[in-house]
Amino acid sequence: MASSHISVRKTDNLIRIDFIDRNILDELNIHQIGEEILKVVESEFRPKVVIVFKNVEHMSSAAFGTLMKVNERVKARDGQLRLCQITPRIHEAFVMTKLNRIFSISDTYETAVASFV
Amino acid sequence: MANSVKAFRCEHTLRDLREGLEHVHQEAEAALAAHGFDDGAKFAIRLAIEEAVVNAFRHGNRSDPKKSVHFRAYIDDTRASFEVEDEGPGFDPATIPDPTEDENLEIPSGRGVMLIKAYMTEVEYVPPGNLLRMTYRKPA
């Protein structure tokens, strides 16, 4: 089995997901990453999910698509998704694609957690 | 300013998406560093190469393992130019919906071409649309 690309920490329904890879570009990797995240999300009702981009230096349209699927699934479980610690260059890509209007983006993990309602 | 490093040129026939991408990323990154492209430029060019090559394999060749993708690069101290050509029938880029329009914003796919155009200085799809030419020029 392929090794995991994410690390997951759960406290009740609060789920913190960190990427292990710096490049979440590759379509094969991003497919596996998406499956891993969805599996975690679907184990909780009303999950409060924070995805931390601290280690991520590159992105792709495939990665954006996967994040959108995760967002949909989180919402379907009556949950909330937050993204945080996104580098300025990757944040610029979110703005360029206007996906900053779809996702809630916070500077830090703490502010992301504080923003849950 | 005179070029201090000889211009980089390469031409590859890519038969496997993952292996091909890894190879061209490594080559391009080394050449871009040698020619003084900054981190922002390297980020933009890596993203554009990724999107172009993935699109060529997935959409152009429709993941047909019998088909290849042809990759050409030219990098000097002022610009980085690439050609990515698939063996498919081509397409009309004007038919791709704008992913930033409100009605398309929540569709998970269709952002690759938009990102290429946003990050590269010049982008041209040569009819019938199976050859992409793109250039990043360093700011003057």
Question: Which H, E and C letters describe chain A, residue by residue?
Answer: CCCCCEEEEEECCEEEEEECCCECCCHHHHHHHHHHHHHHHCCCCCCEEEEECCCCCECCHHHHHHHHHHHHHHHHCCCEEEEECCCHHHHHHHHHCCHHHCCEEECCHHHHHHCCC
Residues of chain A contacting B99 with CB distance shorter than 8 Å = 97
Residue B14 makes CB contacts below 8 A (sequence gap 6+) with B20, B21, B23, B24, B53, B57, B68, B69, B70, B71
Q: Is residue A1 part of a domain?
A: no
Cβ–Cβ contact B99 with A under 8 A: yes
Cβ–Cβ contact B95 with A under 8 A: no
* Residue whose pair of structure tokens reads 């379509």 in the numeric block: A27
Q: Is residue A25 part of a domain?
A: yes
Cβ–Cβ contact B27 with A under 8 A: no
Report the alpha-carbon distance of residue A30 to residue A8 in Å, rounded. Answer: 16
Q: Report the residue of chain A nearest B39, measured CA to CA.
A: A89
Cβ–Cβ contact A58 with B under 8 A: yes
- Here the CATH number for the domain that contains residue A25 is 3.30.750.24
Q: List, for residues B18-60, the tens digit of each pLDDT value.
A: 899 999 999 999 999 999 999 999 999 999 999 999 999 999 9
Q: Is residue A12 part of a domain?
A: yes
Residues of chain B contacting A66 with CB distance shorter than 8 Å = 108
The number of residues in chain B equals: 140
Question: Which H, E and C letters describe chain B, residue by residue?
Answer: CCCCCCCEEEEEEECCHHHHHHHHHHHHHHHHHHCCCCHHHHHHHHHHHHHHHHHHHHHHCCCCCCCCEEEEEEECCCEEEEEEECCCCCCCHHHCCCCCCHHHCCCCCCCHHHHHHHHCCEEEEECCCCEEEEEEECCC
Residue B3 clears pLDDT 80, i.e. is over it: no
Residue B12 clears pLDDT 90, i.e. is over it: yes
Query: Which of A58, A61, A89, A94 should one mutate to test binding to chain B, selecting the residue with the greatest count of B CBs within 10 A?
Result: A61
Prediction pTM value:
0.92
Residues of chain A contacting B105 with CB distance shorter than 8 Å = 98-99, 101-102
Domain count of the fold of chain A: 1
Q: Report the residue of chain A nearest B20, measured CA to CA.
A: A26
Chain A: give the shortest CA distance to residue B118, in Å. Answer: 8
The number of residues in chain A equals: 117
Strand partners, B124: B133
Task: List Cα–Cα distances, A78 to A55, A62, A71, in angstroms.
Answer: 28, 25, 11
pLDDT along chain A (117 residues), means of 10: 80 92 73 91 93 90 94 96 96 96 97 96
Residues of chain B contacting A59 with CB distance shorter than 8 Å = 47
Q: Which domains does chain B have, with CATH numbers?
A: 8-137 (3.30.565.10)
Angle between helical axes of B112-119 and B39-55 (0-180°, round to 10)? 150
Compute the average pLDDT of residues B50-71: 96
Cβ–Cβ contact A59 with B under 8 A: yes
In this prediction, does ipTM exceed 0.85?
Answer: yes
Q: Which of residues 109-138 of B touch A (CB under 8 A)?
A: 109-112, 114-115, 118
Domain containing residue A56:
6-114
What is the residue-averaged pLDDT of chain B? 95
